[in-house]
């Protein structure tokens, strides 16, 4: 029942303590895969990881309610059923602020772990370029390999940010590491072109 102020005007009812005035919506995929279908279990786990899902418990995965994620879960559920398993896509809302904050923290923690792994790979990449530069290995073969590795790192970052739904803390550190790596690659590119007598060359994209 709505509350009333001293003038008798009805006021909107307040949500119970701990509940959200506008609860966030979530998608739950609940599935079962036959014990002998190890390949299907592995596929489901990998696909859910690609989507950025978190497991609430075994075979119960959750994602924010978004059209693209709903499509991904629908497709996965269809594949599971076609392989003889069971899958149901359910909708729910955050039951309380504490529950939602805990779940968002779990999403952020998973993304931060991915950003940490990416940062380590970028640092190894940067160290390799420094070694190539110190050894004066300014050749197109080395440049081509470095550019290919750089594009892999960029794609990795893009995949991670695509499933970083709530702005995990380590994203900024990953961006900074990539910026440092790009500057090293740009410098290496210029040295290769100079060594090959082709002018200053272009930077990495």
* pLDDT at residue number 204: 47
Residue where one domain finishes, among candidates 37, 66, 93: 93
Is the same domain home to 185 and 128? yes
Residue where one domain finishes, among candidates 44, 67, 93: 93
Take residue 47 and report the two structure tokens written for it: 């696909």
* pLDDT at residue number 197: 86
- Confirm whether 1 is domain-assigned: no
Residue where one domain finishes, among candidates 47, 64, 93: 93
Is the same domain home to 113 and 168? yes
Number of domains into which the chain is organized? 2
Is the same domain home to 72 and 133? no
* pLDDT at residue number 35: 84
- Confirm whether 15 is domain-assigned: no
pTM for this predicted structure: 0.83
Is the same domain home to 71 and 38? yes
* pLDDT at residue number 102: 98
Is the same domain home to 63 and 112? no
Is the same domain home to 114 and 181? yes
- Confirm whether 99 is domain-assigned: no
CATH number reported for the structural domain that contains residue 53 in this entry: 3.30.70.1130
Distances 5 to 1, 10, 16, 95 between C-alpha atoms, Å: 13, 7, 19, 28
* pLDDT at residue number 37: 85
Is the same domain home to 126 and 88? no
Is the same domain home to 44 and 83? yes
Is the same domain home to 134 and 183? yes
**Inter-residue contact 88 to 77 (CB < 8 Å):** yes
Half-sphere exposure at residue 83, Cβ-oriented, CA atoms within 13 angstroms: 21
* pLDDT at residue number 36: 84
Take residue 139 and report the two structure tokens written for it: 């050749």
* pLDDT at residue number 5: 37
* pLDDT at residue number 196: 86
Across the chain, which has 205 residues, the per-10-residue mean pLDDT values are 38 46 90 90 96 97 98 98 96 96 98 98 97 94 96 98 98 98 96 85 48
* pLDDT at residue number 88: 98
- Confirm whether 12 is domain-assigned: no
**Inter-residue contact 170 to 119 (CB < 8 Å):** yes
Kindly tell me the burial class for residue 160, based on how many C-beta atoms sit within 10 Å of its own C-beta (0-12, 13-18, 19 or more). buried
- Confirm whether 203 is domain-assigned: no
Domain that holds residue 50: 25-93
């Amino acid at each position: 029942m709505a509350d009333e102020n001293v003038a008798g005007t009805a006021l909107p009812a307040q949500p119970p303590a701990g509940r959200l005035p506008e609860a966030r919506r979530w998608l739950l995929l609940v599935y079962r895969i036959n014990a002998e279908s190890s390949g299907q279990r592995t596929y489901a786990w990998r696909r859910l990881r690609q989507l950025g899902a978190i497991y609430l418990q075994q075979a119960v995965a959750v994602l924010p309610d978004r059209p693209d994620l709903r499509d991904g879960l629908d497709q996965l559920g269809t594949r599971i059923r076609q392989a003889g398993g069971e899958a149901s896509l359910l909708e729910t809302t955050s039951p309380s602020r504490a529950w939602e904050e805990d779940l968002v923290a779990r999403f952020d923690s998973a993304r931060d772990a991915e950003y940490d792994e990416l940062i380590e790979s970028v640092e190894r990449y940067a160290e390799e370029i420094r070694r190539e530069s110190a050894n004066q290995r300014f050749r197109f073969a080395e440049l081509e390999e470095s550019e290919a590795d750089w594009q892999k790192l960029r794609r990795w970052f893009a995949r991670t940010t695509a499933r970083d739904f709530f702005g995990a803390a380590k994203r900024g550190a990953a961006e900074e590491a990539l910026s440092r790596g790009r500057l090293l690659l740009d410098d290496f590119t210029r040295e290769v072109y100079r060594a090959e007598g082709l002018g200053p060359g272009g930077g990495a994209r």
